[in-house]
Amino acid sequence: MKPGVLLLESNEQLRTVVADSLGISLPSESTVPENVGVILIGPGLDQQGRLYELIVRSRQEYPRARVIVISALRHPEVMSRAQSLGAFDYVLLDSLGERLPEAVEKALGRKFDGDREALVPFRKDFVGESRESQEILEALERYAKSDCDVLILGETGTGKDVCAQLIHKHSSRLHEPFVALNCSAIPAHLIESHLFGHRKGAFTGATGNFDGVFARTQEGVLFLDEIGELEPSFQVKVLRVLETRTFTPVGASTEHRFQGRILYATNRDLRLLVDKNQFRADLYHRICANQLWIPPLRKRRQDILPLTRLFIAHSPRSEHPPAISDEVQDLLLACPFDGNVRQLKAVISHAILHLDESETEILPRHLPLDQMFRSAAHAPEAGSESFSGVLKPKNDPATGHDGYPGDVREPSPQAGSHPMSSESKAQGHLSADAVDPELLARPWREAMAEVEQAFNRKYLAHQLMNAHHNVSKAARASGLDPKTFRVKWCRADLGPLK
């Protein structure tokens, strides 16, 4: 049951003013909601001198509820005293319509819209049409509703920071700070100060007190990006904060309480780093319980065009957005995008920059084609130290099935396996005398696209092998020009062409 609002105010006129400012009908003072989330102490009771007594009683009778004081007068000493007794906020009567809905939203930890209270729908902030993106969306919604720490995994440029911000935006901490720290961007001799802060005189150059990210987070969300780059000597200090929920600034003698939530992200395979003694096993097991895997863009090509339209909508040409020609759509869908969403955004920015004001359509000549397709030769191989996937644990006794509940991950290659050759990769998808039963269960368009992709892989790999890996000869045999052959090859995700 959703938490309700209880107003303590005997003056009916003032009750009406408060209810109107929230856009709801409030129950009478004698009718108490079953689940009280917010208690409003009206200005009439403040004037009667009962304010402090009511704050204390409200906190005793409804320890989970948050108390908001509404007052007609600005008294700094009263405000300070009210907050020291446990009042969550102090709203002046002359700013009631503007401040009270915001204060109630913050107290309830969700969007407040009259009688329709709910988290702002994720789908307004999340762009993606692929099956993988829908799984990411479901996991994001689940993690936003909880208050657990989450480890976000994925290659560089997949949008791990965006996912972290979405979890914060749609959680009960949305009105608290979101503080981010890139662990790889801070020099080793400064990382402790940036994490925990320092006191004046703690070291040479410490001319004043400095609050680290743990202190600045308060009750909000701390995002530790590139956690895999953190030196082992500092990993143990982060582990201590997780275990004790306390931290000590450099040069201080007293501990400070940490009441925030932590989200982590990395593009490294932490298990591999653990095996190499570059990441502490105890810290890994502490943060890996709740994981979110963001697949690379090449694994969710259905998202390329929706993301392209999004980037155009946020470009300088947003008022008169240019169309995307069919040729450009084919090139975007064929691009391997080793830089993932970040690279796609840069490609669209390049196209918009080179688009004349009189032009209304993005054409191939507007794209940085040499950069888009040259990068395919530098794609990381499976099993490399850069993140290539996460193995799901087998037969988890807590769930009765493989993997953690709610995880979105891509399995790594089995131990001892090698990346498939182009020919074997093509043959592994389509059989002449059988169709994968899983394929038959998919929607027609999705299944047909998979079959077409499998045929293209087999056909193109066969033509190239017959032409002794001469692209021009393979293209001629296929009835295609070399450029089109290369585009189709990249779109089939068969690896780099020499």
Burial of residue 372, with CB atoms counted within 10 A of its CB: 0-12 exposed, 13-18 middle, 19 or more buried: buried
Strand order through the sheet with 261-266? 178-182, 221-225, 261-266, 150-154, 291-294
Give the CATH architecture of domain 123-294. 3-Layer(aba) Sandwich (3.40)
| pLDDT recorded at residue 62 | 81
- The Cα–Cα gap between 309 and 347 comes to 12
- The Cα–Cα gap between 283 and 268 comes to 15
| pLDDT recorded at residue 448 | 76
Write out the chain's pLDDT in tens, 498 residues: 456 788 888 788 888 888 888 877 666 555 666 677 888 988 877 655 678 888 888 887 887 788 899 887 777 777 777 877 778 888 888 778 778 888 887 777 654 444 333 334 566 678 888 889 889 988 998 898 888 999 999 999 999 999 999 999 888 888 889 999 999 999 888 899 999 999 998 888 888 889 999 999 989 999 999 999 999 889 999 999 999 999 999 999 899 999 999 999 999 999 999 999 999 999 999 999 999 999 999 999 989 999 999 999 989 988 889 999 988 998 898 888 999 999 999 999 999 999 998 999 999 999 998 888 864 443 333 333 333 333 233 333 333 333 333 334 343 333 333 333 444 444 444 443 456 667 677 777 677 777 888 888 888 888 888 888 888 888 889 888 887 888 788 777 776 666
Q: For residue 307, what are the CA distances in angstroms to 302, 342, 344?
A: 9, 11, 8
| pLDDT recorded at residue 436 | 64
265: enclosing H helix or E strand = strand 261-266
Residue 229 DSSP one-character state: G
| pLDDT recorded at residue 308 | 94
Distance of CA 478 to the CA centre of its chain: 44
Judge if 4-108 and 298-378 fold alike in CATH terms. no
| pLDDT recorded at residue 339 | 93
| pLDDT recorded at residue 31 | 60
- Quick check: 74 and 44 in contact, CB under 8 A? no
| pLDDT recorded at residue 218 | 87
Q: Can you name the CATH fold of 298-378?
A: Helicase, Ruva Protein; domain 3 (1.10.8)
| pLDDT recorded at residue 475 | 87
Contacts of 330 (CB under 8 A, 6+ apart): 487, 491
- The Cα–Cα gap between 343 and 156 comes to 10
| pLDDT recorded at residue 379 | 38
| pLDDT recorded at residue 204 | 84
How is the chain split into domains, by residue range?
4-108, 123-294, 298-378, 422-491
- The Cα–Cα gap between 32 and 10 comes to 14
Homologous superfamily (CATH) of 4-108 is Response regulator (3.40.50.2300)
Instruction: Give, rounded to a whole angstrom, the gap between the first and last alpha carbons of the chain.
Output: 62
